[in-house]
């Protein structure tokens, strides 16, 4: 049975002064949970092309960025 995983970046939140966090939704086989990553890590993951967009403009669903869909076989 294959398992699918995808992560959408929803928005940026300020958790502490001068520290920003990205609020994301992680989907595993259609179920989702909120996950949070430091903005600095998010920016590095964009450089590594883990996220597939530039992350500057939300799409029509309000998603800033997303990953490809990963499928475990």
The first and second tokens of residue 59, run together, are 């799409």
Reduced to 3 states, what is the DSSP secondary structure of residue 45? helix
pLDDT in tens, 18-46: 789 999 999 999 899 999 999 999 999 99
pTM: 0.88
Give me the residues paired with residue 3 across strands: 72
What confidence tier does 73 reach under pLDDT thresholds 50, 70, 90?
A: confident
Give me the residues paired with residue 20 across strands: 14
């Amino acid at each position: 049975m294959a398992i699918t995983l995808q992560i959408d970046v929803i928005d940026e939140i300020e958790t502490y002064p001068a520290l920003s966090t990205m609020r994301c939704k992680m989907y595993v086989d259609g179920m989702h949970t909120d996950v949070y990553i430091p903005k600095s890590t998010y920016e590095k993951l964009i450089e590594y092309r883990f996220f597939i967009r530039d992350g500057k403009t939300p799409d029509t669903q309000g998603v800033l960025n997303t990953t490809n869909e990963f499928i475990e076989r």
